[in-house]
Structures are given as structure tokens and as C-alpha cells.
Amino acid sequence: MLIGLVGKPSVGKSTFFKAATLAEVEIASYPFTTIKPNHGVGYVKVDCIDKEFNTQCNPNHGFCINHNRFVPIDILDVAGLVPGASEGKGLGNQFLDDLREADVFVHIVDASGTTDEEGKELPEDENRDVSKDVEFLENELNAWYYNIFMKVWKSFVRKSEIEDVNFPKAVAKQFSGLKVDEDQIKDVIRKLGFKEKPIQWSESQVKEFTSGLRHESKPMIIAANKIDTDRGRENYEKLKEKFPEMIIIPCSADSELALREAAKANLIDYIPGENNFEEKGNLSEAQKNALAKIKRNVLDVFPEGTGVQAVLNKAVFELLGYLAIFPAGATKLKDSKGRTLPDCFLLPPGSTALDFAYFLHTDFGKNFIRAIDARSKKTLGKDYKLKNRDALEIVSR
């Protein structure tokens, strides 16, 4: 699972990244602070099943606090994108190639409204229409796909004059590095309902197709960041009104970073995603004030706290519909090393018990006999559709 952070410069991509991964990265108020991509490990939060079994898990990967299981995911933070990037403005959009492998994008928007389209600070009396940032970014991402597509379009047209070309297959090949498959291509064409053959498509039809493909293969969730600022909340509300079909989450990456760093330094107890914390260490007056401000301006106002955890969770579980699955013996929850419920895996929507067996090991898949639900001890067949937080044993020959 790879989540890509995108947005214009200075919106707080690296701050979000650092808050989610605690990796050391550069953060600054001038545009293009990040040039080379930052790659790190963050976590999605899953209500751990160990509680139901009256036990405490020992994760092989990630960690568990108070029965909140944090399952690792990869996150990529890249350079800022500006309008016209597809024609080479700013740093261009070549660096988007770093995001080819992303399963989902988080578009970080500066909801403070204090920066212009290139991430530069605006004069005090000006306020940016933040919906423009959402629109231009969509356009730039779509142009990226369009340009990739146009590289093969001409040769495709020439070829199809002589022989029958399998369009979905040819397009999938061109986009193979971008995690686009033939089914997605067929799906997009079906949804668009074009009557003409691809070869007869007009320029605008080609654009509709490549935008649709971008949308399908790189879905996007919006983090309305900097909600702790004066205009943050107002601009977030405006975005929700303007784009009712999008998932938009109020966010304060800066606050999350402060909370996670304070927790790491043992100054507070804080579980990412919660809207409270408890002071425990020797806090200076300045630290106390800073934390009180976060509580007042962010945690007490927004039910999902700073929003950083909510963004990651919604991207993976709501937008992509992934399922958290625990391998678990029907009679014992420990593995051979004595670890309790050591694993929790993320599987794509629609996965079956057999898919899960193959996911664990090809041999389990090939020699699958049945699955057993560790809660109910019921037997499940290979076509059983997995549900989020299922705990299953795979029995194989």
C-alpha cells in the first residue's frame, strides 16, 4: 500500500509526512523546500481484535496501543506541483513519475488561504480561493496521464489501420508502471459510454478517457490542512460545499507533528487519531501553552482530532475499500515463536478466503481445503468474501 502526498508548494506535505512517519525531513515556509522525494512508513489504525479474545497482541510489524493496532503503509512526499507543471512550470511534473506506484493520492490543500498558486505568501489583505487549488491539481494530474497516453496514440492509430489492435491491452501496456490494468480501462470506457471506436475518438473524448483513467487508478482524498489558522475552518467548509462528491478532511499536520513529538519525548500520552492527550512529563510553561492551544483550536473543535490519522484511514479503508485481515488459528492465536496475533494484512476489496490463502503463500492457495473463522469456529469455503477485521485460519493440504 503506497500513499502519495501531492499538492502545490508550502501546503504542508512534508509536515504531514513527518507527522505520519516521524522521519527527519526538511520543512520550511518557502516554496520547493522538497525536491527529492521522501519515502517513509506510516500507519493505518485498526480496532485490534485482541480485545475480543481477551489478550494482548505482539505485532511483527507496526505496534498496538490500548488495542489500537497500527498497521504499516508506505508514504511518499514529493515536490510541489504548480499550475502549468505539465508544460514544464515550476519543477515540471517529471517527479510525478516517483508516484507511479501509488495506490491513492492525498491532496494536501492549504486551507489557511494565505498562499498563492505557487505557494508564496500572499499580502495580508488577500485570501486565496482554495477551491482553485483543488481544480488545478486535478487538471495537472489529468494532463500527466494525457501526455503519457499521447506518446502511443499516433503509433496506435497507424497500427490499427493495418491490423486489429486490442485497445485495453495496448493502453495497459503503456500505463503498466502506473498500476493501471485492463479491467480498469474497460471500466472507464464502459462508464463513459462512447459509441465510437477508440480510433475515432475526438481530442475531447481522449481527454475524458485519460482523466477517467487517472481518477480510477489514482483516486484522491483531500486533506484541508492548516485548519488551526484564522480562516482554516471557513475555507474547509467552503471546499465541502463546492465539492460534495469528494472526501475532504479537516487537518492540522503541524499540530499532529507537535503531539507525536511530545509523545515520543514521553511528555504526553497520545494515541494518533484521538482528540485528546494526557500530560505526564516535566513540561515547560511554553510547552504547556503550545499543547493547550492545539487542544483549544483543533482537538476540541474537530471530532477527528488533527485529521492526519483520519486522512490515512479514510484513504485506505473508505476510498480504496481495503480490508484489514488477521491470520489466526481457530484454536490458538500464537505463532510458532509464541507471538499473539503477530500479523494484520491489508487486502483489496472483494478478496475471498482463497485470495487470502494465496496472499499468505502460493502453497496455501494451491492446496487450499477450507478457512475457519477464529471467532465463530465456522468453516468457510474458498469463495467466502472477506470482511474488514476478519480473523481466519487457512487449512491446506
Ligand X SMILES: Nc1nc2c(ncn2[C@@H]2O[C@H](COP(=O)(O)OP(=O)(O)OP(=O)(O)O)[C@@H](O)[C@H]2O)c(=O)[nH]1
Secondary structure (3-state) at 290: helix
Looking at the Cβ atoms of 112 and 211, the one nearer to ligand X is 112
User: 152, exposed or middle or buried, with CB in 10 Å at 0-12, 13-18, 19+?
Assistant: middle
Looking at the Cβ atoms of 110 and 355, the one nearer to ligand X is 110
Of 25-33, 40-48, 323-331, 375-383, the segment contacting ligand X by CB under 6 A is 25-33
252 binds ligand X (CB under 6 A): yes
Residue of 4, 42, 59, 80 that binds ligand X (CB under 6 A): 80
Q: How far is the CB of 38 from ligand X (least distance, A)?
A: 9
33 binds ligand X (CB under 6 A): yes
183 is written with which cell numbers? 479491467
Alpha-carbon gap, residue 364 to 394, rounded angstroms? 7
Within 113-172, which residues bind ligand X (CB under 6 A)? 119
332 is written with which cell numbers? 490458538
Residue of 13, 45, 214, 218 that binds ligand X (CB under 6 A): 13
Looking at the Cβ atoms of 16 and 43, the one nearer to ligand X is 16
Residue of 3, 18, 34, 180 that binds Mg ion (CB under 5 A): 34
Task: Enter the DSSP assignment of 218.
Answer: S
Residue of 4, 12, 59, 327 that binds ligand X (CB under 6 A): 12
Looking at the Cβ atoms of 79 and 134, the one nearer to Mg ion is 79
254 binds ligand X (CB under 6 A): yes
21 binds ligand X (CB under 6 A): no
Of 191-199, 252-260, 263-271, 388-396, the segment contacting ligand X by CB under 6 A is 252-260
Task: List, in sequence order, the alpha helices (H) in 163-242.
Answer: 167-174, 182-192, 203-217, 232-242
| Per-residue mark of binding to ligand X, 40-69 (x: CB under 6 A) | ------------------------------
Q: How far is the CB of 80 from ligand X (least distance, A)?
A: 3
Of 21-29, 84-92, 184-192, 274-282, the segment contacting ligand X by CB under 6 A is 21-29
Strand ranges in 252-335 using DSSP code E only, listed in sequence order: 268-269, 278-279, 323-327
The count of residues interacting with ligand X (CB under 6 A) is 25
Residue of 116, 228, 274, 373 that binds ligand X (CB under 6 A): 228
Alpha-carbon gap, residue 394 to 286, rounded angstroms? 54
Alpha-carbon gap, residue 44 to 366, rounded angstroms? 30
Q: How far is the CB of 251 from ligand X (least distance, A)?
A: 7
Instruction: Specify whether the CB–CB gap between 74 and 1 falls below 8 A.
Output: yes
| Per-residue mark of binding to ligand X, 229-248 (x: CB under 6 A) | x-------------------
Amino acid at 392: L
Cβ atoms within 10 Å of 178's Cβ, excluding its own: 21
Secondary structure (3-state) at 345: strand
Residue of 21, 34, 68, 309 that binds ligand X (CB under 6 A): 34
Quickly list DSSP for 12-28: SHHHHHHHHH-------
CA within 13 Å, CB half, 282: 0
- Nearest residue to 108 via CA among 29, 8, 27: 8
Quickly list DSSP for 19-74: HHH-------SSTT---S-EEEEEEEEEE-GGGTTTS----SSSEEETTEEEEEEE
Residues belonging to the chain: 397
Within 1-30, which residues bind Mg ion (CB under 5 A)? 13-14
Of 9-17, 207-215, 260-268, 337-345, the segment contacting ligand X by CB under 6 A is 9-17
- Residues at the interface with Mg ion (CB under 5 A): 13-14, 33-34
Residues that bind ligand X in the complex, under the rule CB under 6 A: 7, 9-15, 27-29, 31-34, 79-80, 119, 225-226, 228-229, 252-254
